[in-house]
Structure 1
Amino acid sequence: HEIGTSADNYAPLGEAHHRYVSIVRESMGVESFEEAFRRGYDMPGELAIDFALGAKDPTAAVKSVPQSSEPETPLTRREREIAGLVAKGLPNKDIAERLVISPRTVETHVQNVLTKLGFTSRTQIARLFAGQHPASGSAGNQ
């Protein structure tokens, strides 16, 4: 998710992933699996590594991690900024001019936002980010 792709984009990996997810989901039950998956997904990277390597109590460490003021999202700061500008109705060209980046870079960021959020249209981005203000990242602050 961090890089905007999935195991499905790599056939052998995707097939193995789905096979093992099915086995685990069936053995745990859907609700338990979904809860455990969400806990693991939300676990900060270093703690996930500790857990995978057999740390004694990684959940204690998770509870002590300070919560950030940023909303939980798979998007980078720049992607949130661009999503906020999409929500304002700006086309890629105007976003590019405002942020002093190329329209192609904006296009890539918009596509990453769509992929990461499982969306298919800019309208969905606008609905999600309506009323939110993008991070104040003007060209002079970059």
Structure 2
Amino acid sequence: MKLGLDAAGALGTPPVDNPKVVGWYAEGPAPGERGTAVVVGHRDTRTGPAIFLNLHVLAPGNTVRIARADGRVAVFTVDRVRTYAKSAFPDKEVYGSTGRPELRLLTCGGAFDRKAGYESNIVVFAHLTGVDREI
């Protein structure tokens, strides 16, 4: 689903009542286009595990396939996976363009507090390595 920024300028998230849905920041590049495409999903919800539960286990060299609206599949290779405290989130490093097609996958991570939520964000950094013709 398409995501935008909220009133405070923060990236929105998919609805928590559908834990299998991911969101793409629609004001930025689509996955596979030049620039940094950002995809966000929940780790878990009140009803249980969500789409990005095991995002942290991705490792350099793993591949991520993103189905595009044109029916093609953008194939990305993971460069690194990092966990950042929400209080020290490196916006420019995560959201900034590198001049080539890249992908960032984001979810929550770290310790969980019932009142404050997760203390960190997990970020997967990947770059485009191919485009397949069909899903």
Structure 1 length-normalised TM = 0.20
Q: Which has the larger radius of gyration?
A: 1
Structure 2 length-normalised TM = 0.21
Structure 1 or 2: more helix by fraction: 1
